[in-house]
Chain A
Amino acid sequence: MPAPEVVAALATRFAAAPFPLGVSVARESLVEAARVLRDHHGYRYYLLGTATERADAIEVLHAVRHPATLDTLFLKTALPKDDPTVDSLVLVWSGADWNEREIYDLFGVRFRGHPDLRRILLPDEYEGHPLRKDFPMDAPWGFRP
């Protein structure tokens, strides 16, 4: 459970909605919320970056931790499916680099400001984003020896 005072501070400043693992902010205020979280509240420890495709939106989550209190907070933002772009958090936490490349690779979310946004787990010329719900699991892999 994330620290309630941090959740409350983010809720008042960014109109963030709390959920069991952290807070959800609007995508325009993601970078600012991240900076406040790191500099003001001290969450300097980056844990993971992930995405979940819901029925009407794609959620991008970044999990960060406070090195002293060891409190883990998930910062979530929801993106519309027809325009899945959001700002990159690489300049806030360096660990977001590869995590955002993986989200781009598997979900197709574009991160504005990412220094090197290309596929990381699949070949560069692969087409499609496999973790989307409309992507069949056994898509033809089109391999030519």
Chain B
Amino acid sequence: MGVPPVTVEVVEREFGELALNMGPQHPSTHGVLRLVLHLSGETVVRAKPSIGYLHRGVEKLSEHLAYDQLAPVYERNDYLSPTANSLAYCLAVERLASIEVPRRGRFMRAFVAEWQRIASHLVWLGTLGLDLGGALGGGTTLYMYCFREREKILDFLEALTGTRFHTNVNMIGGCRYDLDAATAAWSERLAAAVEAALPELHAMSGDTPIFRERTRGVGVIPPDLALAVGVTGPTLRGSGIAHDVRKDAPYDAYGELPLSVPSRSAGDAEARFQVRIEEIRASLSLVRAIVAGLPAGPIFSRKPIKNPKATKVPAGEVYAAVESPRGELGMHLVSEGGPKPYRLKIRAPSFCNLQVVEYLLPGGLVADVVAILGSLDPVMGDVDR
């Protein structure tokens, strides 16, 4: 089969439609997403997304590795908040095998997850600046400022765990890294620094008239469509439905922490932007609450693992979900009693959120395509697995 070229092909039909291929290599598609847009002038008539350019067969790989070996593999799925994936997996195995996680371990897992949520939202905001402002047209300023804040967070994670973002903190039965007094003080200073930078970031984005014009009324998702398609996360909360797995089905330490779930009812890109900005603030107060209320005790409840292939999980089926920065990230684990999972299905939030693109893009302009994709915040590693 011939290789489809990355070019513009003019399709002469009665209505004079132009079929424009956007991606899979494109600066604004958030990874390897391919959109075939049918345009009539500047208006999008039809949009067909094509995915699978990063399909790494993680679900098949799960059937060939032992339970204890698998948590780091999933961190590469949604690579902007890696611990969310491994946390969902650890929760699923712990529920099926009835493994109790000690209280301090639960708080530590939530701690790293919230810091990664803030880091992920900073990447989203920075790339939104690139999308809406252009790489050489002023959007790069927002990108540089967001990544400056993110570098502070990554430095902190490197001091805590040893690596910048594939931190490998979650284990079946608890957490791998612990917080001491110096790191806790560093976390407090960091939270203050990020919170002080937020008004400046908001002034560069949401307060500017160009940003408002490009996001207000763009990409409105009606709540019924959102529920029927299965949209989750800030995308759903921007349409007025305030679902959040941390509040609806609390896991780890979230049942004991003061959690606020921001939501807006407009359903457009600006609403989703505002929801995510408020989520950064909510996550900052969560990390402060975790450091203040961190209980004493162990962080890992099992004996040291000498042979990862010796862990066996009883037969059964379980579904466990966490709230990743993109939405509900779930793992449906089927076990037949052996040392390896029998079947593991990852419910990827970006996969379900991206389906709604087919309904949102028609009727809008070409320039709105980039704004809508940016406001949905898909991560292709999560979509394709």
Contact = CB atoms under 8 A, between A and B. Distances in A.
Interface stretch (B59-67, B107-115, B124-132): B59-67
Contacts of B103: none
A67 B61 CA distance: 34
Given A45-B227, A50-B345, A137 B355 contact: no
A47 to B, nearest CB: 6
Interface in B258-275: none
A90 to B, nearest CB: 10
Interface string A114-145: 00000111111100001100000100000000
Question: Which of B59, B248, B332 gathers most chain A CB within 10 Å?
Answer: B332
Q: Which of B248, B345, B385 has the most CB of A within 10 A?
A: B345
Given A20-B317, A130-B60, A122 B230 contact: no
B248 A70 contact: yes
A19 B60 CA distance: 25
Interface in A80-107: 93-95, 97-98, 106
Contact of A45 (B1, B230, B342): B230
Contact of B319 (A72, A94, A125): A72
Contacts of A109: none
Contact of A46 (B51, B228, B351): B228
A137 B227 CA distance: 35
Contacts of A130: 57, 60
B355 A94 contact: yes
Interface in B212-268: 224-225, 227-230, 241, 243, 248-249
Nearest to B224: A44
B352 A95 contact: yes
Given A47-B347, A137-B61, A98 B355 contact: yes
A70 B243 contact: yes
Nearest to A126: B52
B65 to A, nearest CB: 10
Interface in B61-85: 61, 63-64
Chain B interface SS verdict (over half): mixed
B26 interface: no
Interface in A30-66: 44-48, 50, 52-53, 61, 63
Contacts of B225: 94
A12 B385 CA distance: 39
Interface of B: 1, 51-52, 55, 57, 59-61, 63-64, 224-225, 227-230, 241, 243, 248-249, 316-319, 328, 330, 332, 334, 342-343, 345, 347, 351-352, 354-355, 384-385
Scoring B52, B63, B384 by chain A CB atoms within 10 A of each residue's CB, the highest score goes to B52
Given A94-B225, A121-B55, A47 B230 contact: yes
A74 interface: yes
Contacts of B64: 137
B60 A94 contact: no
B331 to A, nearest CB: 10
Contacts of A50: 332, 345, 347
14 contacts: A45-B227, A45-B228, A47-B328, A48-B230, A48-B330, A48-B347, A50-B345, A70-B249, A95-B228, A98-B355, A122-B55, A123-B52, A125-B1, A137-B60
A53 B342 CA distance: 9
Nearest to B64: A137
A61 B318 CA distance: 13
Looking at A45, A70, A137, the one whose CB has the most chain B CB atoms below 10 A away is A45
A3 interface: no
A15 B195 CA distance: 56
Nearest to B228: A94
B347 A44 contact: no
Nearest to A19: B317
Nearest to A67: B227
Contacts of A44: 224, 227-228
A21 interface: yes
Contacts of A47: 230, 328, 330, 347
Given A21-B317, A46-B228, 15 more contacts: A21-B319, A46-B227, A47-B330, A48-B332, A52-B334, A52-B343, A61-B332, A67-B227, A93-B229, A95-B230, A95-B355, A97-B355, A122-B55, A124-B1, A137-B60
Interface string A16-27: 000111000000
A106 to B, nearest CB: 8
A20 B183 CA distance: 42
Contact of A20 (B55, B316, B328, B352): B316
Given A20-B316, A48-B345, A50-B345, A95 B52 contact: no
A30 B243 CA distance: 28
